[in-house]
Amino acid sequence: MKRLQKWQKPGEGYTASGFSDVGSYFVLISHNKNMLVLASASPRRKELLAQAGFIFTIAPAAIPEDPMPDESPIAYVVRLAREKAQAVYAQLSAQNNEDDPLLVLGADTTVVAPNGEILGKPSDPADTARMLRLLSGATHQVITGVALATQAGVETAAEVTHVTVLTLSEEEIAAYIATGEPADKAGAYAIQGSAARWIPRIHGCFFNVVGLPLALVSSMIEGTISRIEKSARAIPETAAASSI
């Protein structure tokens, strides 16, 4: 997978691909060596992966996202990321070929309240207020599980960031809920939105809190591509040696 040239912006110079049936927002261009697919409909993950310079398509995965009994937060997000990547890889595996190996990236982010509760997306305004009260005046964890599925298998990892939130008044909570911003966010807030004014410090990756730990994901993608390319180079050498 080559990154964009310095002069080239994501979204420019793209040609049509065969992924229109899975809702692609980004399409492959001729210098791509690998087919990277993001198994997520999250606009934030789409923006972050493009910001890192990767060319990719989008194929959202529809899987149940309920935690299993006694499942730890890290195990929970890693499992969901793996299931998303595997589901989309199985859907698109027929398009995999040696010249354009298929890579599917899955990710899932959750917020862990100071009391240990896993906070998903709030169900209604009352649930939003409840979550914000749990986070108010304390430090919580944001955990993202990531998975990269290829023909060789699935690689998984997780990133943890500690986020400190100022004490919030009931008036501030109500006003924030009224903006609509927290409605579709894990933990009922967006660090990249207006909630940023209540977060004096974080320890760890900022992009992880937004939804995708870019350094971790980039190293996984680039490491996988390096191994694929090394394996591809080794095959002709082995064939040549066996013919001697």
- Which of 95, 97, 138 is closest to 116 using CA atoms? 138
CA 72 to chain centre: 19
Instruction: Please tell me the class of the 20-209 domain.
Output: alpha beta
pTM (2 decimals)? 0.81
Please report, for the chain, the start and end positions of each structural domain, with discontinuous segments joined by +. Answer: 20-209
- Which of 33, 35, 27, 58 is closest to 45 using CA atoms? 58
Q: What is the per-residue pLDDT for 20? A: 34
| Residue ranges in the chain modelled with pLDDT below 50 | 1-32, 238-240
Q: Do 37 and 90 meet the contact criterion of CB atoms below 8 Å apart?
A: no
What are the backbone dihedrals phi and psi of residue 127, each rounded to the nearest 5 degrees, phi first? Answer: -70, -35
The conformation of residue 195, written as its DSSP 8-state character, comes to G
Q: What is the per-residue pLDDT for 195? A: 97
184 is catalytic: no
Q: What is the per-residue pLDDT for 50? A: 95
Q: What tokens were used for 206?
A: 């900022």
Strand 35-38 with 57-58, pairing: parallel
| Model pLDDT for residues 15-31, shown as the tens digit of each residue | 333 333 333 333 333 33
Per DSSP, the residues of 128-171 read HHHHHHHHTTSEEEEEEEEEEEETTEEEEEEEEEEEE-----HH
The active-site residue out of 21, 99, 100, 108 is 108
Q: What is the per-residue pLDDT for 107? A: 97
Q: What is the per-residue pLDDT for 99? A: 64
